[in-house]
Copies of this chain bind each other. A is one copy, B any other.
Amino acid sequence: VLAARTDDTNPLSGLVVADRPEPDVPEGWRLVRVKAAALNHHDLWSLRGVGLRSDELPRILGMDAAGVDEDGNPVVVHAVIADPDAGRGDEVNDPRRSLLSERYDGTFAEHLVVPARNLLPKPDALDDVEAACLPTAWLTAYRMLLRSGARPGDTILVQGAGGGVSTAAIVLAGAMGFRVWVATRDAERGRRAANLGADAVFDRGERLPERVDAVLDSVGAATWGHSLRAVRPGGTVVVCGATSGDPSPVELNRIFYQQIRIVGVTMGSRDELAGLLAFCAARNIRPVIDRVLPLHQAIEGFAALEAGDVFGKIVFTIP
């Protein structure tokens, strides 16, 4: 099968799109004919070797996919390979969890094999390209909002605009009944965030007119202090990444004195992906898509994401 994978010997040398042997299907797993697969920052890191052991290479990249199963049913693929009985009711907390493309081959390939439980029915309301956007960035944003402790009518500050998680958060937060504020250092992205439905857009680090009920932060070092000052006493800062590096110091006095909650989130459960699919179908929500490319032009997508020149998801299609 055609597949985008890391190079055999040097993960940093970059991406190879080439033929791969057809995968075996273990007992209890299913074969999926991938029709669309979305790109994530995680794939860029994998290309650089982060999270991959050299004895596991070459590895097919890609976490997000929609396609059809062996019986021809349209499916969306859940990217977390984990034991539903580990992790105290949240498989993401299984200490042995892995994400597609880490220990098992990923979604940038014509064929994909995953455990049976990792396939969910694709709602008719979403086409393959749309559905392929949901399992990583959109699922993460959905879980961040569910864990924000906010109620409809509350104000959510999204740190950053343009990335998969932040564009998802803007759209989903509005559809959940929140007032949505965005802070970004990029004026053009700010304008596009407003077009997506953000109620107000601020410069990164700008003092806000009032404190917010929750902050969604994937930026890290560059926004940590602002997030802690932006949230009201008793409010929540949900974190899912640190693209600008690890913050320092913690400002622990502020955290306990203001009774702030910091909530770490990564991905979501199979059950939450089902919830997100139902949510998109019920409220007519469509993912924000930057561009759609055929898989053999995957390199163009990786380059755009590397350059930071995206607003929404990049999706690869396999005809």
Name A's B-contacting residues (CB within 8 A). Answer: 27, 84-85, 87-90, 92-95, 117, 142, 145-146, 151-155, 172, 174-179, 199, 220, 224, 232-234, 239-242, 246-253, 255-266, 269-271, 275-283
Q: Can you sample 21 A-B contacts with CB below 8 Å?
A: A84-B84, A85-B271, A87-B233, A89-B271, A92-B259, A95-B233, A146-B152, A151-B275, A152-B275, A153-B278, A153-B279, A177-B279, A178-B282, A179-B278, A240-B256, A241-B256, A246-B250, A250-B250, A252-B264, A255-B262, A257-B264
Enumerate the 10 nearest inter-chain pairs by beta-carbon distance, A residue then B residue, closest first.
A153-B279, A153-B278, A93-B234, A179-B282, A262-B262, A248-B249, A93-B233, A256-B264, A255-B264, A84-B84
Q: Which residue of B lies closest to A116 (CB)?
A: B85
Min CB–CB distance A310 → chain B (angstroms):
21
Other A-B contacts than A93-B232, A154-B278, A155-B282, 12 sampled, CB-CB below 8 A, are: A84-B84, A87-B234, A89-B269, A90-B259, A92-B233, A145-B152, A153-B281, A153-B282, A176-B177, A178-B282, A179-B278, A256-B264
Nearest CB on B from A103, distance (A): 15
Q: Cβ of A85: which chain B residues have Cβ within 8 Å of it?
A: 84, 117, 270-271
State whether A177 touches B283 (Cβ < 8 A): yes
CA distance A172 to B265 in the complex (A): 28
Q: How far is B177's CA from A142's CA once the two chains are assembled, in angstroms?
A: 12
CB contact under 8 A between A259 and B252, given known A152-B275, A279-B153? no
Q: Are B265 and A256 in contact, CB atoms less than 8 angstroms apart?
A: yes
